[in-house]
Amino acid sequence: MLNEYLVLAALVFAIGLFGVLTRRNAVGILLGIELMLNAVNINLVAFARFNGDLVGLVFTLFTISITVVEVAVGLAIVIVVFRVRRTIEADRLDLLRG
């Protein structure tokens, strides 16, 4: 039973990573990061359930609340970037190019 959960989590993580790597829109990238974090949450809950260890559940609650904060900060950055650069396309945010 555990394997199915882990496969699901791996799939969600891969989808999130794919989104982060391919999305041109900064908001899309943020969404990808959310998916990756939730894959982690699935893993934590699954292990807590099958190992009978409640610590995983508690940790998941933490992760969820931190994710909320992260999204708030991330979206704020996106808004500021948009104000300054008039775009949120990741391809064009290349000020650090060597």
Partner 1 sequence: MTSTVTPALAVLGLPFAAFLLLAIVPPLRRAGRVAGVLSVLAVGLALVIALAIWPSANRSSAQALWAWIPADGPPLASVGVLVDHLSGAMLVLVTLISFLVQVYSLAYLGDETGPSLGRYYAYQSLFAFSMLGLVLAPTFLQMFIFWELVGLCSYLLIGYWYDRPSAARAAVKAFWITKLGDLGFVAGIVLLWAETGTFEFSALFGMAQAHTLPLEGLATIMFLIYLGAVGKSAQFPLHVWLPDAMEGPTPVSALIHAATMVTAGVFLVTRAQPLFALVPDILGLIGWVGAFTALLAATMACVESDIKRVLAYSTVSQLGYMMAAAGAGGADAGFFHLLTHGLFKALLFLGAGAVIHAVGTNDIFRMGRLFGAMPQTGIVFIVGTLALAGVWPLAGFFSKEAVLASVWEAGMTGPFLMLALTAFLTAFYMFRVVFLAFFGRGHAGTHHAHDAPWLMSGPLWILALLTIVIGARFVVRGVGEHPAPGWLATLSLGLAGAGILFAWTTYQQALVDPARLASRLAILDFLARRRYGIDALFFGLYRGFILGFSRLIGWIDRYLVDGLLNLLSAWTLRGGDALRRIQSGQPQDYVYGVAFGVLLLVVWAQWLRR
**C-beta closer to partner 1: residue 84 or 96:** 96
Query: What's at 49, amino acid-wise?
Result: R
- What sign results for the dihedral spanned by CA atoms 36, 42, 45, 47? negative
Site for partner 1 in 15-54 (CB under 8 A): 17, 20-22, 29
Q: Which of 1, 54, 69, 96 binds partner 1 (CB under 8 A)?
A: 96
With CB under 8 A as the rule, give the number of residues binding partner 1.
13
**C-beta closer to partner 1: residue 17 or 48:** 17
3-state secondary structure of 52: coil
Alpha helices in the chain (DSSP H): 2-22, 26-51, 55-85
The residue with tokens 């990061």 is 33
* Residues within the interface to partner 1 (CB under 8 A): 17, 20-22, 29, 90-91, 93-98
